[in-house]
Each structure stands twice: as C-alpha cells, then as structure tokens.
Amino acid sequence: MPSNRCIVLKERPRGIPEPHHFELVSQVLPRLSAGEMIVETLYLSIDAALRGWLNDEPNYSPPVGVGEVVRSLAVGRVVESRTAEFVPGDLVYGWFGWQTHCKSTVDRVLRRVDPEQAPVSAAAGVLGINGLTAWLALHEIGTPRRGETIVVSTAAGAVGSIVGQLAGHAGCRTVGLTGSREKVKLCVERFGYEAAVNYRACGSLDEAVTEHCPGGVDVFFDNAGGYVADVIVRRMNPFGRIIQCGTLATASWHPVVPQGPRIEREILARRLRVQGFVIFDHRQRFDEVAATLARLIRSGDLTYVEHIYKGLETAPQALADLYAGRNEGKVLVRIDRESG
C-alpha cells in the first residue's frame, strides 16, 4: 500500500485562499472496506469555486474542515477496488481531493473517463465541470438564438473559452471580456470570439461594450459579477438572459456584503431573467453532454487550452495564479508519480 501525500486546509481563509492557508502532509492510506477503492490521482482540477468550498459562508455545500484534505475534482486511475463498479485500471473523474491517492467510494465518481474521447487531462476540464458548465448553462439558461449577441466574462478561462465557441456555433455574435492583452488575443485567435475587450485597460468599459455590441446584449454569461456585471446589465436587451455562473470579481462576501448599484429596475424594465447555475445539479446529463463535446473536439470544432502545473505541491500556487488571472484556459496540476 503506497503512502499518500496530501494538502490539507491549515487555516480557514476569509475570501480568496492563499498558499499559507494550506499545508502538505503525508498519511498512511487506511485499509479498504467493502464498497471502497483507491484512486491514484493523475490531474487535479484547479477551480475558482474552491473559494466557496473553503470559506465558512452559506453555499451549496458545507465548507472543508480545517485539517481536512482540500476538496477538489481530479482525474485518476483505480489501483485497488472492493467495489462492484470499478476494477483496477479504470479511469475516473470525481471528488478525489488534493492528494496523490484517495480512498474513495463510488458516489464520489462523477464520470467514468473514456480515454478514446480525448486525452485524459481533458476529462478534468473541457469534458469535466468546465465544459459541462459551458454547455449546460449556455443552453439551459442562456437559450441563445441565431443572430443574438452574447457577452462572456472571464472569457479566456476554463469555462469562458468553451462558451465563446459554443455560442458561435449557435449563431451568436460573441464578445469576450478578459483581463490582459495576451488573453484578448487568445480569445479572438483560439476561442472564436468575434471581439474581446481587456476590461482592465479599455478606457470606458461601457463605451467598449457599446462599440462591440451595437445591437445590445441578449445573453450575458457571467463568471465574475462586480463592476463588469454592473456595466453589462445596463446594456442588456429586453428579455435578455444572465447566467450567474461565478462571482470571481468579488474577493469576499463575508462578514460585510459588498455594495453595488441596485439592479431591480434593470431586471424589471428590461424583463431580464437572471439565474444561478451550479453544475452539480445536472449530474444526470454529464455523460451525454461530454460525448457531444468530445465529438466537437474530434471534428475540430472545439479547441481548449490547458495550463498545467507539475507536482502536488504546486496546487496552492496554481490556485493563487488562477485568482490573480495569470492563467490561460484550464488550470490543472499533474501529479508526478516519481515526485508525488
């Protein structure tokens, strides 16, 4: 039985987690009981949602406890199994945490990974929650129609980079908002956006959006909230849809809720529909949608960029870089079997 190296929560963050909130420790893996298996992790998925899972604030799941392994999705390989469902060698995507090995039960697995669909790492990103979010939130809430204009925040991120392409396939004019010149380039050259705006250096964001969305905005796929959202909501067309998929722009919601311009009037007068999206409500559709996305990848109609860190110990820094917007595309940590 190999020993397990893992990263635990050392101190509960308030707001954005930083490297000093984490600690690397070693554990002996406990013996398996019936219904359990050992998964060795291959790629950890680094997600902005982690903030919500670590802070002790109301959220859709209880927070990780201090001293517990950091909650994380990952792609891994079953190395030992006392389950009826999985045998050693099976590839799986699920809640395996920031660790090299996970004693898991079947209910922690979100999807069985099919290496024929795409490279294994893709199962944690474009075929994992990010691509699934892009597809399901766009189509179920955004209901894009040919000729409509969609604006996407964090457009070069793991979700936004897929949304732009899918909305383009749906016949929409796609405008991405992102935070650097390099990412603007990536949005337009790789992710199929017709236009992209560096909201940090565009002068008036309102003017930039008006220029790029001359017919107004029909769908706003919002991963950020905050100031950028304040501008876009006031450029929405009647009956526009806003997908609230993330709140990356706001560092902390607790104990003082940040203030912003009220939007009740915008929602009413423009008859907007604003809806929150959490991917884990849609588990029963994961396999079907992943198969669709995999087909698009194979046909060359969907591209993705991975930003891969090496070694378990890099996970806290990978997360910090994600919050600082230093990533392009999906952030992953590859678990190196030699170094752990």
Question: Given the rule CB under 8 A, which residues bind a second copy?
Answer: 52, 58-60, 222, 225-226, 229, 238, 244-247, 250, 253, 257-265, 267-278, 281
What's phi and psi for 36, nearest 5 deg? -115, 165
Q: Which two tokens stand for residue 160?
A: 């936004």
**Closer residue to a second copy, CB minimum distance, 294 or 322:** 322
To a second copy, the closest distance from the beta carbon of 21 in angstroms equals: 20
Asked whether the beta carbons of 306 and 18 are under 8 A apart, the reply is no
121: amino acid identity, one letter: S
According to DSSP, residue 69 is labeled: B
Rg over alpha carbons for the chain, rounded to the nearest Å, is 20
Q: Which two tokens stand for residue 174?
A: 């796609």
To a second copy, the closest distance from the beta carbon of 245 in angstroms equals: 7
To a second copy, the closest distance from the beta carbon of 75 in angstroms equals: 25
CA distances from 109 to 36, 68, 124, 230, 292 (A): 12, 19, 12, 38, 20
To a second copy, the closest distance from the beta carbon of 163 in angstroms equals: 16
Other beta carbons within 10 Å of 182? 12
Asked whether the beta carbons of 100 and 41 are under 8 A apart, the reply is yes
**Closer residue to a second copy, CB minimum distance, 105 or 275:** 275
**Closer residue to a second copy, CB minimum distance, 62 or 89:** 62
To a second copy, the closest distance from the beta carbon of 260 in angstroms equals: 5
Q: Which two tokens stand for residue 212?
A: 């790029």
**Closer residue to a second copy, CB minimum distance, 149 or 244:** 244
**Closer residue to a second copy, CB minimum distance, 274 or 335:** 274
Give the C-alpha separation, 73 to 98, whole Å: 8
